[in-house]
Structure 1
Amino acid sequence: MARAIWTGSVSFGLVNIPVGLFSATQEHQVHFHQFEKGTSSRIRNKRVNEDSGDEVDYDDIVKGAEVGDDEYVMLTQEELESVEPGTSRTIDISDFVEAAEIDPIFYQKSYFLAPTDETAKKAYALLVGAMDKAERVGVATFVMRGKQYLAAIRPKDGVLVLETMYFADEVRDPKKELDNLPGRASSRGKDLKMAVDLIETLTTSWNPKNYRDTYTERVEKLIDAKKKDRVVVTQPDREESEEKVVDLLAALQASVDTSKKHRAGNTQDVAPVRTRKRGPEDVDLDDLPKKQLVELAKELEIEGRSKMSAADLRKAITKAKSDRGGRRRRAS
């Protein structure tokens, strides 16, 4: 059962509805640790004084705001807490707007709002039904973890969804940030019509299940393959056509022609991850300790291996692998 990351109430006019806030999404992420190359020793981060090199306890660390070149104002945790937003536990809906009026660039992260007890369910259902019928989104502010948020609240399948949002001064102006934007496109011309035709050909109904995080899937398969002592066989990139299309209209026409068999989503034509048994030629010698180097040298039938240093073993193994590859090429 999910745990609420924040509890309080939604204020709707004179009505207060006790609610809990729950994460609505989770990101795909493969977690990696850091190791020193050639060993199994973890890398750890420490807080150190850059002048003395000594490690500093967390309780002895204060925050500093830069006010000039190498000039800082130091602030204690107590001082920061004194100017934090109030400890209000209310999500105060101040306005209702049409969803289409909010540019998606303002949205940050999605959460579910749920009633915290049986007595809140009736008022909660009333707010969901009223917003659904009015087809409006509630705009609210609230405080969570010492930070004030702007939020949009909307009904979805009988549940209130809260989207944290950026404030207006947190969204950058592209005209000020980007210096190479084209002028407004002409509304006439065959190339524009062809581009519109391409968009219409690729238009489909939105279905989130049509799209997958194929990169994370391939990373997970790579990890599984290495765990089973196998290597991944990658496919070569598609060769580019020698005759490159430089005419925009021709490129659009070619795109329209090839898009007639379009299927929605990003999962088609995704090359599968192929693996094969790992051999001596696949091993990164710098990653291996001496014990494993000796075992690999034994597999390659290298004489005198037990008396060699790790560096000598790597040289001998590299030479043996090279000789083996040469024999294979001559045999073929």
Structure 2
Amino acid sequence: MMARAIWSGFISFGLVSVPVGLYSATEEHQLDFHQFQRGTSDRIRNKRVNERTGREVDYEKIVKGHDVGGGEYVIVEQQELADIAPGRSRSLEISRFVDLDEIDPIHFQKSYYLAPSDAGNASSYGLLRDALAKTNRAGIASFVMRSKEYLAAIRADGKVLVLETMFFADEIRDPAKELGDLPAKSSATKQLKMAVDLVEAMSGTWRAGDYKDSYTERVKKLVADKRKGKEIVLSEEAPEATTTTDLVTALRASVEAARSRRAAGKKAPAKKTAGAKRTPAKKAAAKKTAPKKSAAKKRAA
């Protein structure tokens, strides 16, 4: 069964309009908890209550009000919000195409999939997707959804178009103002070289599947253990800050440990194929070492 679109409208670029539906691309791990009064089995409920009368109010009877100061509010109906942007709420208007690499990731907010909502116009969807993939560009667009205007980047990802909602420039905080003085560029040559060595030793290929939500699994185990009446044992302690005097020692030990793990990881496949035919295993090993030598020469150069 196909997912239900949370928004539907048109991608517009130039004089071309492509009907599309917007779908959630992600879902977060979440273990739901209800609220209880401690020592009882009494649930805590959140209700919409009129602060003057103390009576609960039905959702349909609630309107929005904007605080304009002095205890005065301007009341706005949901329909009024929809009426001021009837076209914008049905159109993803691409105003410019930009190189994907030029967009700072801090602007990205949430990912959605875009899918053609009309089979007759699927070719237009495919054309835009393939053009974006070939040029490594994203279409910058704006649209209105749920009474809010969004800035968005539309990019190609395999067979699908992905829409990334984005923060506007004035929504991103200035670190200089928010965080105060930050450390200057490092002048400690030895420590910097060791830090670079550690980064290199810990580098690898990005594979999203390598990372799991271990905290949620721990929460599930906590619930299961408490249900069975088991004793809860803390398995880890919070880390402590590395002092300046211990920094070099910590970096050196980290580099050595990372290199050892990498070496062990490279040997693992060879052990796996040892029980199979020996000749192909040797050939595969020879092929693997060739690029490493050339990479080492590049670094030396």
TM-score by length of 2: 0.77
Q: Which residue of 1 aligns with 2:250?
A: 251
Distance 2:243 2:95 in 1: 56
Distance 1:160 1:198 in 2: 37
After superposition, what is the alpha-carbon deviation per residue over 1:12-67, rounded to whole angstroms, capped at 9, x for unaligned? 22211111111000000111111122222211112334455444444554444334
Is residue 18–residue 121 contact of structure 2 (8 Å, CA) maintained in 1?
Answer: yes
For 1:255, give the aligned amino acid: S
Distance 1:145 1:87 in 2: 14
Is residue 18–residue 120 contact of structure 1 (8 Å, CA) maintained in 2?
Answer: yes
Matches within 5 A, 1:314-325: none
Deviation of the 1:75 alpha carbon: 1.5
Aligned in 2, Cα 1:79/1:48: closer, same or farther, shift over 3 Å? same
Distance 1:132 1:244 in 2: 47
Distance 1:240 1:179 in 2: 25
Deviation of the 1:9 alpha carbon: 1.3
Distance 2:161 2:243 in 1: 51
Distance 1:46 1:259 in 2: 53
Is residue 86–residue 143 contact of structure 1 (8 Å, CA) maintained in 2?
Answer: no
Deviation of the 1:11 alpha carbon: 1.2
Greater helix share, structure number: 2
After superposition, what is the alpha-carbon deviation per residue over 1:122-159, rounded to whole angstroms, capped at 9, x for unaligned? 11111111111111111111111221111001111111
Q: Give the unaligned 5+ runs of structure 2.
A: 263-301
Aligned in 2, Cα 1:55/1:116: closer, same or farther, shift over 3 Å? closer
Q: Supply the RMSD in Å over aligned alpha carbons.
A: 2.6
Q: Which residue of 2 aligns with 1:159?
A: 160
- Are 2:205 and 1:205 aligned? yes
DSSP 3-state at the match of 2:204: coil
Deviates more, 1:230-239 or 1:31-40: 230-239
Deviation of the 1:84 alpha carbon: 4.5
Aligned in 2, Cα 1:175/1:125: closer, same or farther, shift over 3 Å? same
For 2:245, give the aligned amino acid: V
Deviates more, 1:18-27 or 1:34-43: 34-43
Q: Which residue of 2 aligns with 1:190?
A: 190
Q: Which residue of 2 aligns with 1:47?
A: 48
Matches within 5 A, 1:1-332: 1-58=2-59, 61-68=62-69, 71-77=71-77, 81=81, 84-88=84-88, 89-186=90-187, 189-227=189-227, 229-237=228-236, 246-262=245-261
DSSP 3-state at the match of 1:183: coil
Aligned in 2, Cα 1:179/1:12: closer, same or farther, shift over 3 Å? same
For 1:90, give the aligned amino acid: S
Is residue 222–residue 232 contact of structure 2 (8 Å, CA) maintained in 1?
Answer: no
Distance 1:124 1:50 in 2: 51
For 1:6, give the aligned amino acid: W
Superposed structure 1 runs of 4+ greater than 6 Å apart: none
Deviation of the 1:86 alpha carbon: 3.7
Distance 2:238 2:17 in 1: 63
For 2:76, give the aligned amino acid: T
After superposition, what is the alpha-carbon deviation per residue over 1:103-125, rounded to whole angstroms, capped at 9, x for unaligned? 10100100011111221211111
DSSP 3-state at the match of 2:230: strand
DSSP 3-state at the match of 1:184: coil
For 1:221, give the aligned amino acid: K
Distance 2:49 2:62 in 1: 10
Is residue 5–residue 21 contact of structure 1 (8 Å, CA) maintained in 2?
Answer: yes
For 1:254, give the aligned amino acid: A
Distance 1:239 1:72 in 2: 48
**Larger radius of gyration, structure 1 or 2?**
1
Distance 2:256 2:82 in 1: 64
Aligned in 2, Cα 1:173/1:83: closer, same or farther, shift over 3 Å? farther
Is residue 131–residue 154 contact of structure 1 (8 Å, CA) maintained in 2?
Answer: yes
Aligned in 2, Cα 1:31/1:87: closer, same or farther, shift over 3 Å? farther
Is residue 3–residue 22 contact of structure 1 (8 Å, CA) maintained in 2?
Answer: yes
Is residue 85–residue 148 contact of structure 1 (8 Å, CA) maintained in 2?
Answer: no
Distance 1:7 1:240 in 2: 48
